[in-house]
Amino acid sequence: MVIYDKQYDIIVVGAGHAGCEAALAGARMGCATLLLSINLDAIALMSCNPAIGGLAKGHLVREIDALGGEMGKNIDETGIQFRTLNTRKGPAVRASRAQADKQLYRLRMKRVLENQENLSMKQGEVTALYVEEGVVLGVDTRVGVRFMGKTVILTTGTFLRGLIHVGLTSYAGGRAGDLPADSLSASLIAQGFDVGRLKTGTPARLDGRTIDFSKLEIQHGDDPPVPFSFSTGKIVRQQLPCHIAYTNQRTHDIIRANLDRSPLYGGLIEGVGPRYCPSIEDKVVRFPDKERHQTFLEPEGLDTVEIYPSGLSTSLPIDVQYAMYRSIEGLESVEVMRPAYAIEYDYVDPIQIRSSLETKLVRNLFHAGQINGTSGYEEAAAQGILAGINAALRTKGRDPLILGRGEAYIGVLIDDLVTLGTREPYRMFTSRAEFRLLLREDNADLRLREKGYEVGLVGEEEYARFREKRNMIAEEMNRIRGKRLIPSETERSFLEEFGLADLHNGISYEQLLRRNEFTYHELMRIDGQSACLPAEVREQVEIQVKYQGYIKRQLDQIERSSKLENSRIPEDFDYVTLAGLSSEVREKLLRFRPGTLGQASRIQGVTPAAVSILAIAIRAGRAR
């Protein structure tokens, strides 16, 4: 084994969406960082659908951006269709989604990494961790080089013992066209990690020249497109539409007739797949009464004819794929360019990591992304940036950055992983966030910019702009509280339009904005000053005023839970001799080793009484 002559602060294994954010965060915080990838041409590759965002995922992207991450900026520069989802619902559940030009996305991210100070990139497959006395010291690669690092972040994606299935044919691979990482799992198992198996899948890529788009419904993006990043001014790239097609009874018949050739139904696949992203055969079997299933045909880029048919992932044999796709109206003579496939891969039970994403078993080793059982680029990137930040903080001897469930979806994501574990690939939903009304896309900067600045990821210029916005919001809140609409000084028709004709004493602008049908749009008709404000300031003020009651209710809920959340449980806490716990609860606590009383209370099977006993014992320990 050759020991490389340079010592790194942080070694990131894997250059997907988690690895890129981790490496950038580490390097930007001043750490000597090495990014290792099996294939340097596949950096930030979108292995599945060419899109970023969606419900709860868009929220994550905004949070990553507020912390000083790259994902939002990257999609803003390479996106070819932007849409805001749920525009008819309230601000908390509105979310951004964008189609990416897959190649541009990857190339831009690579360029950013290459231009990043403190960051080196090398191609290599990591085969083992180098651990001594429970502390990771480096990694070994296939070609016999040992890289030494103070911290290591594993972001292995689907590469750990990756196994690709197309029908009853299977072969080893980390992704179609890439080698797997076959040795690293054994190294993890040797360290005591519980390694499990998950499964995911992706549809075929279709040749757009062989699709009759005239038969399909067209779907355009928003005009003007709204960017993800708080730092992006305007989206300038050319935009493309998507198309919508539907399966039919014939499609379903073809699938049903060939289920015996499916590796999933034939028992060849042992890994657990996601219920929210089922293959088309799964949908047909589980929902036999549904007459058709919708698919969005998403362009993979500006300079390619490849089309991604969302919702049509499958592991059926290739001949069935041909017949199945061609049974869809508009796709009668479609050519498959890349076959659909399912992939199985290893993950490590996330209850073996802490809220900082450091593993409990090996010091200075961090896990992020699919290795923790999650799915999705955004979920991966969110963990990546936190792992990068916390590895960097570790090298500086500082406490980790841990986000609360009331602060960020990232906090919800990590807390869910460490307290609940996961049996299927974990995806974020807004319904997972009990403080959903506070965790909005629009206020991600107000929630997290400050933290990004404190750790050193948000630059001075961006921070100054943020502070200005925050001040303007505060000033405007004050102004509309003080400023009043005086009936005698207001046009009669305006008063009548809003049912204010009987008003005698005047009404503050704040009270006006609280009314159902009254927005800044209406206020600007009588108040010149509000028109001078930037749109995002008006938006914030309007939301904070209109939803004040609900926002306050959620803040109160956070306040009530904060006592449990802030009570740390010592790492070496002795559950074995603690009187009063049932054996089931004791076993759970020993297995999960929660970091706080709040986390303990969320572990399934841990009763409120058990939490009380813990609280008392912890106080007692502290008193001693």
Q: Does 552 bind another protein (CB under 8 A)?
A: no
Query: Is residue 294 at the binding interface for another protein, with CB under 8 A as the rule?
Result: yes
**350 binds another protein per the rule CB under 8 A:** no
In this structure, are residues 466 and 230 in contact, taking their beta carbons and an 8 Å threshold? Answer: yes
Q: Does 558 bind another protein (CB under 8 A)?
A: no
Residue 245 sits in the site that holds another protein (CB under 8 A): no
Instruction: Let me know the angle formed at the C-alpha of 619 by 617 and 622, rounded to the nearest 5 degrees.
Output: 110
220 interacts with another protein by CB under 8 A: no
Which token pair is 47? 């292995």
Stretch that binds another protein, among 103-111, 147-155, 284-292, 351-359 (CB under 8 A): 284-292
Q: What is the closest distance, in whole angstroms, from the C-beta atom of residue 331 to another protein in the complex?
A: 17
Interface with another protein (CB under 8 A), residue from 40, 42, 85, 179: 85
Q: Contact at 8 Å (CB) between 457 and 386? A: no
As measured in angstroms, the least distance from the Cβ of 224 to another protein is 21
Q: How far is the CB of 222 from another protein (least distance, A)?
A: 14
Query: Are 40 and 15 within 8 A, CB to CB?
Result: yes
429 or 494: CB nearest another protein: 429
Nearest distance, CB of residue 427 and another protein, angstroms: 10
Q: Does the footprint of another protein cover residue 555 (CB under 8 A)?
A: no
* Residue with smaller CB distance to another protein, 431 or 529: 431
| One residue of 40, 55, 176, 337 binding another protein per CB under 8 A | 55
Least distance in angstroms from the C-beta of 313 to another protein:
8
- CA 132 vs. chain centroid, Å, equals 33
247 is a contact residue toward another protein (CB under 8 A): no
Q: Is 287 in the site for another protein (CB under 8 A)?
A: yes
When asked if residue 93 is in the footprint of another protein (CB under 8 A), the reply is: yes
Under the binding rule (CB under 8 A), the answer on residue 342 touching another protein is no
Single out the residue of 228, 286, 222 nearest to residue 252, CA to CA: 286
DSSP lists the bridge partners of residue 99 as 51, 81
241 binds another protein (CB under 8 A): no
The nearer residue to another protein, 89 or 398, going by C-beta atoms, is: 89
Taking the least distance from each CB to another protein, the nearer of 152 and 272 is 272
Peptide bond into 487 cis (omega under 30): no
Could you tell me the two tokens for 116? 């990043």
615 contributes a contact to another protein by CB under 8 A: yes
Helix (H) or strand (E) holding 320: helix 318-326
Applying CB under 8 A, does 217 fall inside the site for another protein? no
Q: How many Å apart are CA 336 and CA 506, to the nearest integer?
A: 68
37 forms beta bridges with 123
Buried b / exposed e along 27-56 (16+ C-beta atoms within 10 A): bbbebbbbbbbbebebbbbbbbbbbbbbbb
How far is the C-alpha of 200 from the C-alpha of 48, rounded, in Å? Answer: 10
* 616 binding another protein? (CB under 8 A): yes
Among 236, 532, 535, 579, binds another protein (CB under 8 A): 579
Instruction: With CA atoms as reference, report the closest residue to 356 among 389, 395, 381, 405.
Output: 389
Binders of another protein among residues 398 to 427 (CB under 8 A) are: 420
* Interaction between residue 361 and another protein (CB under 8 A): no
Q: Is 322 in the site for another protein (CB under 8 A)?
A: no
> Which one of 178-186, 428-436, 453-461, 477-485 is the stretch in contact with another protein (CB under 8 A)?
428-436
Question: Which residue has tokens 């929630």?
Answer: 447
How many residues in total does the chain contain? 624
Q: How far is CA 512 from CA 77, 480, 485, 495, 541, in A?
A: 39, 9, 9, 11, 13
Compute the least distance from the CB of residue 554 to another protein, in Å.
Answer: 8
Check if the beta carbon of residue 410 is closer than 8 Å to that of residue 185: no
Binding mask 509-548 vs another protein (x if CB under 8 A, - otherwise)? --------------------------------------x-
Q: Which residue has the tokens 């930040």?
A: 389
The answer to whether residue 553 forms part of the interface with another protein (CB under 8 A) is: yes
Residue 450: CB minimum distance to another protein, A: 25
Asked if 580 is part of the footprint of another protein (rule: CB under 8 A), the reply reads yes
Handedness of CA 221, 223, 224, 226 (dihedral sign): negative
Give yes or no for residue 325 binding another protein (CB under 8 A).
no
* Separation of alpha carbons 155 and 205, rounded Å: 26
Kind plus residue range of the DSSP H or E element containing 64: helix 57-67
The one segment of 82-90, 131-139, 385-393, 485-493 that binds another protein by CB under 8 A? 82-90
Taking CB under 8 A as the criterion, the residue among 11, 437, 439, 485 binding another protein is: 437
Nearer residue to another protein within complex by CB, 294 or 333: 294
Question: Which residues 6+ apart lie within 8 Å of 454 measured at CB?
Answer: none
Give how many residues touch another protein by CB under 8 A: 50
- Least Cβ distance, residue 163 to another protein (angstroms): 22
Near another protein by CB under 8 A: residue from 47, 239, 247, 554: 554
Told to check if 145 binds another protein by CB under 8 A, we report: no
| DSSP for residue 117 | T
Which of 26, 28, 95 has its CA nearest to residue 60? 95
Is 199 one of the binding residues for another protein (CB under 8 A)?
no
By beta-carbon proximity to another protein, the closer residue of 94 and 449 is 94
**Which C-beta is closer to another protein: that of 179 or that of 613?**
613
* Pick from 58, 129, 136: nearest CA to 91: 58
Give 128-133's long-range contacts (Cβ < 8 A, gap of 24+): 128/183, 128/184, 128/186, 128/187, 129/184, 129/187, 129/188, 129/191, 129/362, 129/365, 131/191, 131/362, 131/365
The window from 74-82, 86-94, 143-151, 381-389 that contacts another protein (CB under 8 A) reads: 86-94
The region, left, alpha or beta by phi > 0 then psi within -120 to 50, assigned to residue 617 is alpha
Please state, in angstroms and rounded to a whole number, the distance separating the CA atoms of residues 215 and 246.
11
Does 256 help bind another protein (rule: CB under 8 A)? Answer: no
Q: Which residue ranges make up the site for another protein (CB under 8 A)?
A: 49, 54-56, 85-86, 89-90, 92-93, 275-278, 283, 286-287, 290, 293-294, 296, 310-311, 420, 429-432, 434, 436-437, 547, 550, 553-554, 563, 579-580, 604, 607, 609, 612-613, 615-617, 619-620, 623-624
